[in-house]
Amino acid sequence: MSDLRSDFVHIFEPGQDTARPPVLLLHGTGGDERDLLPLGRTVAPGAALLSPRGAVLEHGMPRFFRRLAEGVFDEDDLRRRTDDLAAFIREAQARHGIAAPVALGFSNGANIAASLLLRHPGLLRGAALLRAMVPYAEPPAARLEGTKVLLLSGAADPIVPAANTARLAGILQAAGATVKHHDLPLGHGLSQMDVALTRDWMAAV
């Protein structure tokens, strides 16, 4: 449980490999702080793991921010929740003595990770965004030089249009991030292909 000011229920696993950056795990809709721990351990063995639970409930399912409909975000809520999450990350860094984390987000978690990149540049060392969408109709200007981003989209994803992910890649590249984008022959769910690509990318961050 969390007693940080931002009050996110979370799990922190100390790392054994000090050469690896810590990993911030951000679950999808209906997940919780335990969902991505196995994935984190697999793609970044030995890294410290920081895994908060989204503080918004949608029909009883945790999320990191509200939405108005499928694929339509409540941008005011997204801004506020992104700032809350940024405060939590900074406090967790101070409390646990960890460096800037690399985010690993899936779906809703990937979307708030993209928002973190744009609203709080420099907070994250990098981000692996699995099935992410453009978080804002008019994204804020950001300087992301030195930030590495992995985008894994699904060509058959019924939730995230291919053009949307391509636009997100362009926004991040225009801000200076180093972006690798793979459009996989998959839907919205994750596969071993996602695991292998994320593991290889994490090893080089």
Residues labelled catalytic: 107, 157, 188
68: Cβ–Cβ under 8 A, 6 or more apart, which residues?
74
Beta bridge partners of 177: none
- What gap in Å lies between CA 71 and CA 184, rounded to an integer? 20
**Ramachandran assignment for 26, one of left (phi > 0), alpha (psi -120 to 50 degrees), beta (any other):** beta
Hunting for tokens 């967790």 — which residue is that?
A: 92
